[in-house]
Amino acid sequence: MTLPTHAEIVVIGGGIIGCSTAYHLARDHKADVVLLEQGKLTSGSTWHAAGLVGQLRSSASITRVLKYSVDLYKGLEAETGLATGWKMTGCLRLATTRDRWTEFKRLATTAKSFGMEMQLISPAEAKAMWPLMEISDLVGASWLPTDGQASPSDITQSLAKGARMHGAKLYEDVRVTGFDMKDGRIVAVKTSQGSIACEKVVNCAGQWARQVGAAAGINVPLQPVKHQYIITEKIAGLAADAPTIRDPDRRTYFKEEVGGLVMGGYEPNPQPWRTGLAGGDVPADWEFRLFDDDFDHFEQHMSQAIARVPALETAGVKQMINGPESFTPDGNFILGTAPECPNMFVGAGFNAFGIASGGGAGWVLAQWVVDGEAPLDLWVVDIRRFSGLHRDRQWVCDRTLEAYGKHYAIGFPHEEYQSGRPALVSPLYERLQKHRAVFGQKLGWERPNWFAPEGREAEDVYSMGRQNWFSPVGDEHRHVREKVGIFDQSSFAKYELTGPDALRALDFICANDVDKPAGRITYTQLLNTRGGIEADLTVARLARDKFYIVIGTGFRTHDSSWIRDHIPAGLDATLTDVTEDFATLSLMGPKARDVLAAVANPDVSNGGFPFGHVREIEIAGHPIRALRVTYVGELGWELHTPTDAAGAVFDALMAAGEPHGIRPVGYRAMESLRLEKGYRAWGSDITPNDTPFEAGLGWAVKLRKDKDFLGRQALEKVHNEPLKKRLVGFTTNDPDIVLLGRETILRNGEPVGYLTSGGYGYTVGKPIGYGYVRHTGGVDDDFLTAGDYELVVAMEKTPATIHLGPLYDPKSDRVKA
């Protein structure tokens, strides 16, 4: 065997993800692709995967990815001549509690929003479909007829053959040993059989992906976890086309296989393998190997499974599979461009969903590799959602085990992870604790979600309805509307862009016009080549060649990488991370100026410090970068304070604000405040799938300026065309409705979209949601206002009122309801 000395793209790993990526690169893009597998194709975790294929996720884009997998598997055998073992048996999900049943009703609503038909059926109907099942404890079941199962090895071999048919070259028994790097990019892949020069590398190395990435200085935060299932002998009465079953309240799953059952589960006490503190790397020769059977650990699943399927008690066990699967700290898989190296792409960490995801993940990853940007809104799986914290292998292990243990847990709204906390805290953490803060976590940062009044437990109590913080958050919300609140937003990511070409660089990267005098602030989106919104952020010009960029906490890696990757070649501009140098206190509310004027020097009057400006002021003897902006719809400032001065500045503001009733306020009140004002949230209301025109942000696009910017060509093609979707607001008359997002929007009884975000507006006294209304013939004001609207919430219709503008306007003191 002789390896080529050069290839356009090298794919590392011959499991289902690697073979799917190579297949799509060759079939769709005619790329020069070489795939390297250290052992044999399907070795690693693919060969021992259980093979269940589900499609529904909370993200429309990820659901589309999984639906693509099903469509691909249906037709792959006809293309390649190799069977895939695909069976569209459908899937039953069982509910034994009212909270689970509510979750299923919400999932069924989401499915319909995404164009899938999930039915809710009675226990008796479920029994008729699966006669061997015990149903005495069931409340009901959901039925998704297009789910199914497949043979992981067969699908992978079929994809590999398809890749070869389209020109890809696949090599087995070739181990990647390292990389040649130049200027932060990979120029060659070093292997046990020689080196291959290349333009791009795709790391699909499964449980070895972390090690492969580390060889190029790239962090892939995944953790192998031991996952067990059994295969039984034949069971009398089990139909060959029996649906797969997920029994989440008993933490188990079932699928038919050769007349018997495959049964496994997700235990709350999972067993990690090869952590940073206990074993190091996954051995290179762990290919078709398994762990010893561990019936003691598996007994918890066996007892639950027998209670559901009594026939299992006397069924013979043909084989136990105990192998490692790659899991991630948030339960979502990993795709995309590595932030540390712009020509390494990653497809790994599939959380035992590799077979369900494989076809679609390979499709979008191949497009990502060719275009250099994601073809859809894939933020929830983007590798750039992680940060430096995720280099801590023990932290990753602890959080991953918690995510694994919650695999089948009820998805309560707003639920927080508990492991590895606190990891990162602001300088005000202890002060806020004394104010009875209830913290959440964002990218490792502890942030106050709400403050518990005296006499109330300072912790979240989760439920599917109104939660225990609803009333206290309402009090915080009203306080900001009527008086003044102080928010700790120190977790904001903060950057400085400096250099002679800083303005030219930002002019190209930003959709809005940042060419303003020093002292001015610009809110802007960053667009992809399709005109979709890749980020939104605030740019403050401090000097001719110095800009201060403020980014949302969770987007630190993503947004900074996007900026660095898109600074045009040859420009002298340097992006520097100053996040830890500054704490951020946001002072918001009609009394904010009174408080600030009492402690600040110089003038903070409207004339002296207008909206949209940045000034250096002094508080308690410390220099402050003060930005007059708001995300709550009230008078306010962001006060960017030297980190070591944050405590003194907070104390000074609290003392000066005492006559005005100042109090700390949390992020849940901020969310309800922004909903009333109609401010968009990236990742939900605005995404890479949405243009500024569709999102109602066309005013922030500099098309009238004779300047090129990323995404301009795409926007020029559509800006005079009728919009086919528009983001609008909705309220419901029923105050007890809980809106979370993904609820279906009905116009004149017909589905036209779904909510992207939802919550409650305490000033308007109603639930509020935002979502895109879609219509192929165009969506203008007349179309929108001519319809009668309903929202489908947990499968129940409720009348809704559409709103084309903010529900709350402090300038005129108007409240629209």
**Cβ neighbours of 681 (radius 10 Å):** 17
Considering only CA atoms, which of 429, 651, 445, 477 is closest in space to residue 437?
429
pLDDT of the residue at 814: 47
- Dihedral of alpha carbons 508, 509, 510, 511, sign: positive
Average pLDDT over residues 245-262: 93
CA distances from 153 to 173, 291, 453 (A): 17, 19, 57
**At 509, which helix (H) or strand (E)?**
helix 502-509
pLDDT of the residue at 817: 43
pLDDT of the residue at 74: 87
User: Which residue pairs from 458-467 have beta carbons closer than 8 angstroms and sit at least 24 positions apart in sequence?
Assistant: 460/414, 460/415, 460/416, 462/412, 462/413, 462/414, 462/415, 463/99, 463/412, 464/99, 464/102, 464/103, 464/106, 464/410, 464/412, 464/413, 464/738, 465/736, 465/738, 466/736, 466/738, 467/413, 467/414
DSSP string of 87-119? B---EEEEE-SHHHHHHHHHHHHHHHHTT---E
User: What is the Cα–Cα distance from 140 to 129, expressed in whole angstroms?
Assistant: 13
**Residue 670, φ and ψ in degrees, nearest 5:** -60, -40
637: left (phi over 0), alpha (psi -120 to 50) or beta: beta
User: What is the Cα–Cα distance from 454 to 215, expressed in whole angstroms?
Assistant: 53
Average pLDDT over residues 671-696: 97
Q: Which residues contact 78 (CB under 8 A, 6 or more apart)?
A: none
DSSP conformational letter for 723: P
pLDDT tens-place string over residues 780-809: 999 999 999 999 999 999 999 999 999 998
Total-model pTM: 0.95
**What token pair was written down for 745?**
């929007």
SS3 at position 207: helix
User: What is the Cα–Cα distance from 578 to 12, expressed in whole angstroms?
Assistant: 35
Say what the alpha-carbon torsion angle 222, 225, 231, 237 is, to the nearest 10 degrees.
-80
pLDDT of the residue at 357: 87
**Cβ neighbours of 429 (radius 10 Å):** 18
pLDDT of the residue at 278: 46
Q: Which residues contact 74 (CB under 8 A, 6 or more apart)?
A: 86, 88
**Cβ neighbours of 299 (radius 10 Å):** 10
- Decide: residue 581, CB within 10 A, 0-12 exposed, 13-18 middle, 19+ buried: middle
**What token pair was written down for 176?**
């990647």
pLDDT tens-place string over residues 466-488: 999 999 999 999 999 999 999 99
- Dihedral of alpha carbons 381, 383, 389, 393, sign: positive
**What token pair was written down for 180?**
């040649």
User: What is the Cα–Cα distance from 444 to 421, expressed in whole angstroms?
Assistant: 8
Average pLDDT over residues 700-720: 95
194: left (phi over 0), alpha (psi -120 to 50) or beta: left
- Which residues on neighbouring strands pair with residue 10, listed in sequence order? 34, 201
N-terminal to C-terminal alpha carbon distance within the chain: 73
pLDDT band of residue 147 (cuts 50, 70, 90) is confident
pLDDT of the residue at 152: 81
SS3 at position 814: strand
Class of domain 6-84+150-222+330-385: alpha beta
pLDDT at 812 exceeding the cut of 60: no
Considering only CA atoms, which of 681, 682, 653 is closest in space to residue 487?
653
pLDDT of the residue at 776: 95
pLDDT tens-place string over residues 35-58: 999 998 877 665 556 566 777 777
pLDDT at 285 exceeding the cut of 90: no
220, 383 Cβ separation under 8 angstroms: yes
CA distances from 261 to 240, 544, 550, 559 (A): 10, 69, 54, 46
Residue type for position 57: R
pLDDT band of residue 277 (cuts 50, 70, 90) is very low
Which CATH fold topology does 91-149+224-323 show?
A: D-Amino Acid Oxidase; Chain A, domain 2 (3.30.9)
DSSP conformational letter for 661: T
47, 288 Cβ separation under 8 angstroms: yes
pLDDT at 83 exceeding the cut of 90: no
- Check if CATH label 3.90.650.10 holds for domain 582-661: no
Pick the range with the lowest mean pLDDT from 10-14, 257-261, 730-734. Answer: 257-261
CATH superfamily of 493-577: Aminomethyltransferase beta-barrel domains (3.30.70.1400)
SS3 at position 705: coil
**Cβ neighbours of 331 (radius 10 Å):** 17
284, 13 Cβ separation under 8 angstroms: no
Question: Beta strand 244-247 with 91-95: parallel, antiparallel or unpaired?
Answer: parallel
- Show me where the domains of the chain are located: 6-84+150-222+330-385, 91-149+224-323, 493-577, 582-661
Average pLDDT over residues 125-153: 92
pLDDT of the residue at 114: 83
Query: Can 91-149+224-323 and 582-661 be said to share one CATH topology?
Result: no
SS3 at position 430: helix
pLDDT of the residue at 49: 61
37, 13 Cβ separation under 8 angstroms: yes
pLDDT tens-place string over residues 652-670: 999 999 999 999 999 999 9
- Which residues on neighbouring strands pair with residue 451, listed in sequence order? 437
pLDDT tens-place string over residues 422-454: 999 999 999 999 999 999 999 999 999 999 999
User: What is the Cα–Cα distance from 644 to 242, expressed in whole angstroms?
Assistant: 63
Q: Which residues contact 602 (CB under 8 A, 6 or more apart)?
A: 608, 615, 617
User: What is the Cα–Cα distance from 379 to 86, expressed in whole angstroms?
Assistant: 29
pLDDT of the residue at 48: 56
pLDDT tens-place string over residues 408-426: 999 999 999 999 999 999 9
pLDDT band of residue 813 (cuts 50, 70, 90) is very low
- Decide: residue 811, CB within 10 A, 0-12 exposed, 13-18 middle, 19+ buried: exposed
145, 118 Cβ separation under 8 angstroms: no
User: What is the Cα–Cα distance from 177 to 196, expressed in whole angstroms?
Assistant: 12
Average pLDDT over residues 612-619: 97
Q: How does the average pLDDT of the chain come out, rounded?
A: 94
User: What is the Cα–Cα distance from 679 to 633, expressed in whole angstroms?
Assistant: 8
pLDDT tens-place string over residues 349-373: 988 777 888 999 999 999 999 999 9
pLDDT band of residue 553 (cuts 50, 70, 90) is very high
DSSP string of 13-50? --SHHHHHHHHHHHHHH---EEEE-SSSTTTTTTTT--
Q: Which residues contact 709 (CB under 8 A, 6 or more apart)?
A: 507, 508, 509, 510, 511, 527, 702
User: What is the Cα–Cα distance from 470 to 190, expressed in whole angstroms?
Assistant: 57
SS3 at position 400: helix
